[in-house]
A and B are shown apart, each in its own frame.
Chain A
Amino acid sequence: MRAAVVVFPGSNCDRDLAVAFEAAGAEVEMVWHKDVALPEGVDVVGIPGGFSYGDYLRCGAIAAQSPIVKSVKAHAERGGYVLGICNGFQVLTETGLLPGALLRNAGLKYICKTVKLRVETSNSAFTAGYNAGDVISIPIAHHDGNYFADNDIVAQLQDEDRVAFTYTENPNGARADIAGILSPNRRVLGMMPHPERAADAGHGGTDGVALFRALTGALTAA
């Protein structure tokens, strides 16, 4: 299974994400934001956390217009897999690959701590390693993680079983406690929490490992 991790100026979780993919058995290539094409044969693209382009204008807004993200969009539209974490989730909403937007945290503070997430669906290559209803511990680290979408979109996400994770105790004001969502074809996942920061015993938690293993397993078998 081949993964590409996008690096923007200001990305800071790119190497952690690459390590998590590699530990799960993926072959990883880093791609620069100015690259116009993804490497041949890439199965999944990781869009990492950080502060792409300094969060100028809006978080993820400038990254969404970068040359590489045009290729990522085309990859997703062809049915390719994309995992956007934290700033990566913000980029995915700005591109329109996922609905909604991430607003400033309701409490205005940057929050960096480990939170409990409920796995809402095991029906995706990302979440197949969990059971729906599992509660897992994953760190968050964000200032703008307050998921917003109008009532119709939230209802649609819930009806279509596209909410991947919710917070058991909402830290940021997110609509319907939403921490992560899937695209209609379930191959694009955006989430604010950082599974790559809970992927090694040295991190203090390993609840994120199942996500990378399930994804690598599903794409290797395919």
Chain B
Amino acid sequence: MKARVHVMLKNGVLDPQGEAVRHALGALGFEGVNGVRQGKVIELDLAEGTSEADVTAMCEKLLANTVIESYSVEMG
């Protein structure tokens, strides 16, 4: 079974990389891009029976730094 974890910088934490991407899109002529936030996706290949609570614990302990990042878990 698989799980997919999305990690994003929390709202209110400046994302200078997203800001740089937004500027670059503007320079390419894409208008109306009001904001870009860049995060990461972590795919986990898990033993059958691993629970969402297990994956949440992985996020809390390692995959996300909850001081600056939020995360969401997608099972299956």
Contacts and interface: CB of A to CB of B under 8 A. Distances in A.
A61 interface: yes
A182 interface: no
Given A57-B63, A65-B62, A173 B14 contact: yes
Interface string A91-122: 00110000111011111100000000000000
Interface string B1-31: 0000000010001101100100000000000
Given A108-B20, A148-B68, A103 B63 contact: no
Contacts of B63: 57
A149 interface: yes
A58 interface: yes
Contacts of B9: 103
Given A101-B67, A148-B68, A106 B62 contact: no
A46 to B, nearest CB: 23
B10 to A, nearest CB: 10
B16 A101 contact: no
B65 interface: yes
B44 to A, nearest CB: 13
A57 B71 CA distance: 14
B65 A61 contact: yes
Contact of A93 (B14, B62, B67): B67
Contacts of B62: 57, 61, 65
21 contacts: A57-B63, A58-B65, A61-B62, A93-B67, A94-B65, A99-B67, A101-B67, A103-B9, A103-B13, A103-B14, A105-B16, A106-B16, A107-B16, A108-B16, A108-B20, A146-B14, A148-B13, A148-B67, A148-B68, A173-B14, A173-B16
Shortest 4 CB-CB contacts between residues of A and residues of B: A101-B67, A101-B68, A108-B16, A106-B16
Given A57-B62, A103-B13, A108-B17, 7 more contacts: A58-B65, A101-B67, A104-B16, A106-B14, A107-B16, A148-B68, A149-B67
